[in-house]
């Protein structure tokens, strides 16, 4: 009988110790989350930007996004719905730190952002006449980001996504196609480019 009582007390101690460790770990995570949320660089509960270098343009793609895909060259889309979009190809630096801790959760709306400091310029050059403009024209001044900045004006690439979305602020002839070569110029003097052809643009 004494042996059973002793065993019962030992099991209760083990359970109490396990529960204590669990609650202690949860307290540490909660405290760390609160501390991290006020660190400089964390905005609205999202992780701080990672340091990265651009190495190229991974893809150019066109809005609208319908039926589980983006528009392609053989489609016809309304100019009002059209968007010229591209994705940068990057290399995250090895010593980059997002500032998150194990077990830390961020808002579902968070998209990882990056500080990319090796970009000199991004240009979009016509490879066919468009809206009265000749081959070779840089139309980056006609492409506007959602915050109403011209693509040609972007010189600082900090706390950005690798995805760029722009709208075309000109009216071409009905059923025109936008054929371009998008250049990425890097500060080390190198450049890369990608060619693309938009869907047919319906203007009326």
DSSP string across 122-149 = EEEEESS-BTTBPTT-B-GGGEE-TTS-
Choice among 21-35, 65-79, 89-103 with the minimum mean pLDDT: 21-35
Helix and strand numbers (H, E) in the chain are: 1, 11
Residues 34 and 68 in one domain: no
Alpha-carbon distance 58 to 155, whole Å? 20
**Band (13; pLDDT cuts 50, 70, 90):** low
Residues 110 and 178 in one domain: yes
Residues 180 and 128 in one domain: yes
Q: Is the pLDDT of residue 182 over 90?
A: yes
- CATH number for 110: 2.60.40
Mean pLDDT of 59-64: 97
Give domain status of residue 54, yes or no: yes
Residues 24 and 75 in one domain: no
**Cβ(122)–Cβ(166) under 8 Å?**
no
Domain count for the chain, please give it.
2
Choice among 12-16, 144-148, 183-187 with the minimum mean pLDDT: 12-16
pLDDT at res. 104 = 47
**94-100-104 Cα angle (round to 5):** 145
Supply the range of the domain harboring residue 2. 1-38
Alpha-carbon distance 182 to 204, whole Å? 27
Percent of the chain whose pLDDT exceeds 90: 67
**Cβ(162)–Cβ(170) under 8 Å?**
no
Residues 55 and 34 in one domain: no
147-160 pLDDT per residue, tens: 999 999 999 999 99
Give domain status of residue 45, yes or no: no
The 8-class DSSP code of residue 48 comes to P
Give domain status of residue 106, yes or no: yes
**Band (126; pLDDT cuts 50, 70, 90):** very high
Write the CB contacts of 98 (distance below 8 Å, at least 6 apart in sequence). Answer: 47, 48, 50, 112
User: Which whole-number Å values give the CA distances from 138 to 28, 121, 125, 180, 200, in the listed order?
Assistant: 54, 12, 4, 9, 20
């Amino acid at each position: 009988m004494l042996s059973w009582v002793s065993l019962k007390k030992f099991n209760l101690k083990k359970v109490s110790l396990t529960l204590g460790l669990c609650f202690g770990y949860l307290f540490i995570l909660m405290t760390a989350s609160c501390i991290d949320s006020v660190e400089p660089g964390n905005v609205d509960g999202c992780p701080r930007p990672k340091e990265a270098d651009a190495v190229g343009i991974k893809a150019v793609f066109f809005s609208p996004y319908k039926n589980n895909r983006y528009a392609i060259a053989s489609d016809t889309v309304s100019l009002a719905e059209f968007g010229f979009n591209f994705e940068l190809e990057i290399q995250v630096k090895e010593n980059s730190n997002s500032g998150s801790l194990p077990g830390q959760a961020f808002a579902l709306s968070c998209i990882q952002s990056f500080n990319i400091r090796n970009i000199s310029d991004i240009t979009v050059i016509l490879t066919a006449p468009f809206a009265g403009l000749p081959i070779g024209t840089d139309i980056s001044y006609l492409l506007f980001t959602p915050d109403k900045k011209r693509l040609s004006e972007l010189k600082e690439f900090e706390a950005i996504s690798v995805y760029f979305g722009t709208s075309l602020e000109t009216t071409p002839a009905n059923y025109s196609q936008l054929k371009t070569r998008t250049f990425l110029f890097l500060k080390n003097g190198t450049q890369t480019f990608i060619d693309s052809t938009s869907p047919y643009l319906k203007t009326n």
